[in-house]
């Protein structure tokens, strides 16, 4: 096996046994990036010198027989809306094209402290606004399984980088499914933690009430290792929770006999790709064969999830993006007066999807419409959240497709925003309720991946990981690699 195809736990074992060095592992990944990224375009910024310097430091610690983290010496890619000290952080937007942050996000600091090796920053839909990574100001990322297809979004660069062997794991962000959908489209494992489990300090905000940072990995065991490092209270983020972080690896040792799996009938809808539906139902049968008890449940208000999400999200986007005005930081366009500086900078620097969401959000927050749209959407969000939490009193996890469709062709939906928004239809529920959820591969149709989504109770990532790991131990889908 090529070094760049290793999982974190496989590579960590080789590093501990001194069968491979971190420098060798990092060089293999950097060579892979050089070989394939021109056609995949997973990265916006590459950091080979930093990566090799970090790898050398890890090798010195190993040579000195120091205790090291399971992530020490492991190449990682960071989504480019998470700030990195001294490394450009662009959000795939012209307005931040040359922005170099003076500090690290908490998650980046924790990865550095664990000894992870940063190989670069990955592409995304501009400011996270999209489901295909086509809305990047610098060009789209291509799906490694079929380069004519999208990798999903907005964390498509991170997912594509893992699938193509350009890193061993990556960080993504998930608001309405931006970790899970690209994980499903690229056949990797993508975990959205509970809102408040992982610090958002240093994440350039999209929808502050839903944004989370999470791991994207080659398998579930790796996801548990990364979450162990990322999770926990952060004094710089008041939304993180107090209390100890459980040992996620402990959950992976347990079976799922007697565990209750809920299958919402509303998540198998007319218009869904029948082959995707078949793959999901086969995955549910596999979980049943492993000892899980399967029960059909109903979540009737989740049909309003997409509409609810696309009122709340643009509203918060409108507020969060007001800081990019051409004055405080980022790009500034010269103009005759202050108002023209604002309008010229924002008008010429933001992409079409960003402008669309700002205008929608400004409208829903304006006088006369706030109560009719935004306030009502927040009430519906509460109804959906309570409905899902009641269901999770009867079952341990909820199973659903990650996406109703297979990866679609590049350019096929770029001018159809409503169709693009519906790609989030099965993922908005966990986002609105702030729940943990993971997408893992559960099949291939004509060479294209299908994703299985597993949702759990608040702060019960352990059970979500346990179910996902049991499935992966009984199947081989996650071990397949694209031929590039």
Can you give the residue ranges of every domain in the chain?
A: 3-256
What the block records as the tokens of 424 is: 């989030």
The residue assigned the tokens 């079409």 is 352
Distance CA 383, CA 381 (A): 5
pLDDT value of position 154? 97
Residues 6+ apart with CB under 8 A from 292: 256, 257, 258, 259, 260, 261, 467
CATH classification number, 3-256, choose in 3.90.1300.10, 3.10.129.10, 3.20.20.70, 3.40.50.2300: 3.90.1300.10
Q: How far is CA 324 from CA 79, 332, 342, in A?
A: 20, 9, 9
Looking at the DSSP bridge assignments, the partners of residue 170 are: 77, 216
- Helices 461-473 and 220-230: angle between axes, nearest 10 degrees: 160
Specify the pLDDT at position 416. 75
Model pLDDT, residue 270: 81
Q: Two tokens at 427?
A: 């993922």
Class of residue 98 by CB neighbours under 10 A (exposed 0-12, middle 13-18, buried 19+): exposed
* Catalytic hit among 178, 318, 349, 431: 178
In the chain, helix, strand, coil percent, each to 5?
Answer: 45, 15, 40
Element (H, E) at 82: none
CA-closest candidate to residue 1, choices 295, 462, 13:
13
- Check residue 413 and give its pLDDT: 87
Which residue is catalytic, options 93, 154, 318, 403? 154
Task: Rounding to the nearest 10 degrees, give the CA dihedral for residues 418, 262, 279, 177.
Answer: 30
pLDDT of residue 260: 98
Which neighbouring-strand residues pair with 433? Answer: none
347 and 340 Cβ atoms separated by less than 8 Å: no
Question: Which member of 46, 79, 149, 466 is catalytic?
Answer: 79
Cα distance between the two ends of the chain:
15
154 tagged catalytic = yes
List the chain residues with pLDDT less than 70.
418
CA-CA distance, 111 to 212, in Å (whole number)?
A: 16
pLDDT given for residue 251 in this prediction: 98
- How many angstroms separate the CA atoms of 165 and 207, rounded? 30
Instruction: Give the chain's radius of gyration (CA, Å).
Output: 21
Q: What is the pLDDT of residue 384?
A: 97
- What pLDDT was estimated at residue 430? 97
For residue 328, the model assigns a pLDDT of 81
Tell which residue, 298, 254, 263, 259, has the closest CA to residue 284: 263
């Amino acid at each position: 096996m090529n070094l760049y195809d290793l999982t974190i736990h496989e590579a960590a074992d080789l590093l501990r046994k001194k069968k491979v060095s971190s420098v060798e592992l990092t060089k293999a990944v950097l060579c892979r990036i050089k070989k394939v990224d021109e056609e995949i375009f997973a990265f916006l910024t590459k950091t080979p010198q930093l990566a090799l310097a970090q790898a050398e430091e890890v090798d010195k610690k190993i040579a000195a027989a120091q205790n090291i983290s399971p992530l020490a010496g492991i190449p990682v890619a960071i989504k480019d809306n998470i700030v990195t000290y001294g490394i450009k952080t662009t959000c795939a937007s012209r307005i931040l094209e040359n922005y170099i942050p003076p500090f690290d996000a908490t998650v980046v600091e924790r990865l550095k402290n664990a000894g992870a090796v940063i190989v670069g920053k990955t592409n995304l839909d501009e400011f996270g606004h999209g489901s295909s990574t086509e809305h990047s100001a610098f060009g789209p990322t291509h799906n490694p399984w079929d380069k004519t297809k999208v990798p999903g979004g907005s964390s498509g660069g991170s997912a594509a980088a893992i699938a193509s062997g350009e890193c061993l794991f990556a960080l993504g962000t998930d608001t309405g499914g931006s970790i899970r959908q690209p994980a499903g489209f690229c056949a990797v494992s993508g975990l959205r933690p509970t809102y408040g489990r992982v610090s958002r300090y240093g994440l350039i905000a999209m929808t502050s009430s839903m944004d989370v940072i999470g791991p994207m990995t080659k398998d579930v065991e790796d996801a548990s290792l990364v979450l162990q490092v990322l999770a926990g209270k952060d004094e710089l983020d008041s939304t993180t929770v107090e209390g100890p972080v459980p040992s996620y690896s402990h959950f992976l040792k347990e079976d799922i006999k007697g565990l209750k799996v809920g299958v919402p009938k509303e998540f198998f809808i007319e218009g869904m790709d029948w082959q995707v539906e078949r793959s999901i139902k086969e995955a549910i049968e596999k979980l049943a064969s492993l000892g899980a008890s399967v029960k059909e449940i109903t979540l009737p208000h989740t049909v309003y999830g997409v509409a609810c999400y696309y009122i709340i999200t643009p509203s918060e986007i409108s507020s969060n993006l007001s800081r990019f005005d051409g004055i405080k930081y980022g790009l500034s366009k010269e103009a005759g007066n202050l108002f023209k500086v604002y309008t010229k900078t924002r008008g010429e620097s933001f992409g079409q999807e960003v402008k669309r969401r700002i205008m929608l959000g400004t409208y829903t927050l304006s006088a006369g419409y706030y109560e009719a749209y935004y306030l009502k959407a927040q009430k519906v969000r509460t109804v959906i959240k309570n409905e899902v939490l009641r269901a999770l009193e009867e079952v341990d996890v909820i199973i659903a497709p990650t996406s109703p469709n297979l990866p679609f062709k590049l350019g096929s939906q770029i001018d159809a925003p409503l169709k693009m928004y519906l790609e989030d239809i099965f993922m908005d529920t966990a986002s609105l309720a702030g729940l943990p959820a993971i997408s893992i591969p559960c099949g291939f149709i004509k060479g294209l991946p299908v994703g299985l989504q597993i949702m759990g109770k608040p702060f019960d990532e352990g059970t979500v990981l346990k179910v996902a790991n049991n499935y992966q131990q009984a199947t081989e889908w996650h071990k397949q690699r694209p031929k590039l």
